[in-house]
């Protein structure tokens, strides 16, 4: 399934557009079902979006007590480590939100070996979601075409019978826990959030078909599917 591309002139307008879209998705889910289940991306790109969501007028437009925050992936480090996706999201957004602690579902990758943490997190997701799909999955895009921690040529790409898995990433010599294609593809909405000149090559390679079979290209969202980009990433 091809994504609907939303290309904004610069990073500030990209963040505003994505924040408005996020608020609209949250409000619609809460109005319809009384809850908004969202999986957040790690990395550096979405930090500005998270900061924006924790400011006016965006923060007040969401009933955060009805939001469940999940994480698309996590590095196997302490939640206080500089590489922790949770640390980035907590500092950029969570610490400023009126969201109950119980609604923030961190991947506790320091609490055991990655495979066990993945199993436990999958059980936690099933317990909270109760067979409902995620309402929104926010993803970044790696320069190698990975999403979450679904890295090229890893067994994580082939997992179809679990919502989460663990993956050893050779190039980083480190383990990660990640959501898998089944849980991402069944979400009501998937947004890949891409910004900056550094991503122009991978975006071009993918949109021109110069490369095939990358993890992001194996996404097959059953719901709405968007790429939110600034002009720099879109090569404009
Ligand atoms: C992670 C992310 C990962 C990220 C991409 C892009 O844990 O690193 O989940 O999938 O979104 O690597 O990272 P940047 O936004 O830092 O370019």
Q: Which pTM was predicted?
A: 0.98
Residues with CB under 6 A from ligand 1: 41-45, 72-73, 85, 140-142, 146-149
Query: In the structure encoding, which two tokens stand for residue 27, read together?
Result: 């409000």
Which residue's C-alpha comes closest to atom 13 of ligand 1? 43
CA 140 – ligand 1 centroid, Å: 5
What totals of helices (H) and strands (E) does the chain contain, helices first?
6, 9
Domains present along the chain, CATH in parentheses: 4-230 (3.40.50.1360)
* Distance (Å, whole) CA 36 – CA 25: 8
- For the CA of 146, the closest atom of ligand 1 is 10
* Distance (Å, whole) CA 195 – CA 229: 6
Best probe residue, ligand 1, of 45, 70, 92, 140 (max atoms within 8 Å of C-beta)? 140
pLDDT of residue 234: 98
DSSP letters, 106-163, are ---TTSS-HHHHHHHHHHHHHHHHTTPPPSEEEE---TTS-BTTB-TT-GGGG--S-S
Q: What is the pLDDT of residues 103-153, one digit of tens each?
A: 999 999 999 999 999 999 999 999 999 999 999 999 999 999 999 999 999
pLDDT of residue 1: 81
Best probe residue, ligand 1, of 44, 76, 141, 175 (max atoms within 8 Å of C-beta)? 141
- For the CA of 147, the closest atom of ligand 1 is 10
- For the CA of 72, the closest atom of ligand 1 is 9
- For the CA of 150, the closest atom of ligand 1 is 10
pLDDT of residue 149: 98
Residues making up the chain, counted from first to last: 236
Average pLDDT per 10 consecutive residues for the chain, totaling 236 residues = 96 98 98 98 98 98 98 98 98 98 98 98 98 98 98 98 98 97 98 98 97 98 98 96
* Distance (Å, whole) CA 116 – CA 207: 37
Sheet of strand 224-230: strand arrangement: 4-8, 224-230, 189-194, 136-139, 36-40, 67-71
CA–CA distances in Å: residue 234 to residues 5, 19, 54: 9, 19, 27
């Amino acid at each position: 399934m091809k994504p609907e591309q939303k290309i904004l002139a610069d990073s500030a307008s990209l963040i505003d557009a994505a924040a408005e879209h996020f608020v609209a998705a949250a409000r619609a889910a809460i109005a319809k079902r009384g809850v908004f289940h969202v999986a957040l991306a790690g990395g550096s790109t979405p930090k500005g979006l998270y900061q924006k969501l924790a400011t006016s007028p965006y923060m007040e437009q969401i009933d955060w007590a009805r939001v469940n925050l999940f994480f698309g992936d996590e590095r196997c480090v302490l939640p206080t480590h500089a590489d922790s996706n949770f640390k980035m999201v907590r500092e950029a957004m969570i610490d400023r939100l009126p969201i109950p602690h119980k609604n923030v579902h961190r991947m506790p990758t320091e609490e055991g070996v990655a495979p066990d943490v993945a199993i436990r997190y999958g059980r936690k997701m099933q317990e909270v979601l109760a067979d409902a799909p995620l309402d929104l999955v926010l993803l970044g895009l790696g320069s190698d075409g990975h999403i979450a921690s679904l890295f090229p040529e890893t067994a994580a790409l082939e997992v179809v019978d679990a919502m989460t898995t663990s993956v050893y990433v050779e190039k980083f010599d480190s383990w990660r826990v990640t959501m898998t294609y089944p849980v991402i593809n069944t979400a009501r909405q998937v947004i890949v959030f891409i910004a900056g000149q550094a991503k122009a090559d991978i975006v071009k390679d993918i949109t021109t078909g110069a490369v095939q079979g990358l993890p992001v290209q194996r996404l097959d969202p059953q719901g709405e599917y968007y790429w939110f980009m600034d002009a720099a990433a879109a090569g404009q």
